[in-house]
Amino acid sequence: QKEVEQDPGPLSVPEGAIVSLNCTYSNSAFQYFMWYRQYSRKGPELLMYTYSSGNKEDGRFTAQVDKSSKYISLFIRDSQPSDSATYLCAMTPIPTDSWGKLQFGAGTQVVVTP
């Protein structure tokens, strides 16, 4: 069983809708949670990161972490066609021997239609 599970989609939404993405994980040691965005034929780029539980907002993007349920979410408000990409969640424990060792989800493909 994978440590990080993510629905691959595709998730198709009309422009202006809210996009809701999520990942579940099994390793309770994970403390840092990230969302990367990957456009077609490009490398992933960091979108947001959060530490431990709680919410974080950045413009149209909101990341939520629920450690009790081992569940993280990313919401995109007022979605635009330029948000069409694959979104990957990633997570890692507090750095010790696992410094820099991220575990990624499989990625969810999002398509925002005009």
Binding flag, residue 8, another protein (CB under 8 A):
yes
Question: Bridge partners of 46?
Answer: 36
Query: Whole-angstrom Cα distance, residue 92 to residue 7?
Result: 19
Reduce the DSSP state of residue 84 to 3 states and report it.
coil
Per-residue interface string for the shown chain with another protein, residues 69-108, x marking contact by CB under 8 A: -------------------x-x-x--x---xxxx-xxxx-
Minimum distance, C-beta of residue 78 to another protein, in the bound complex (Å): 25
Give 23-63 as a DSSP string.
Answer: EEE--TTEEEEEEEEE-TTS--EEEEEEESSEEEEETTEEE
Q: What's the closest the beta carbon of residue 105 comes to another protein, in angstroms?
A: 6
Residue 45 in the binding site for another protein (CB under 8 A): yes
Query: Residues in the site for another protein, rule: CB under 8 A?
Result: 4, 6, 8, 32, 34, 41-46, 49, 88, 90, 92, 95, 99-102, 104-107
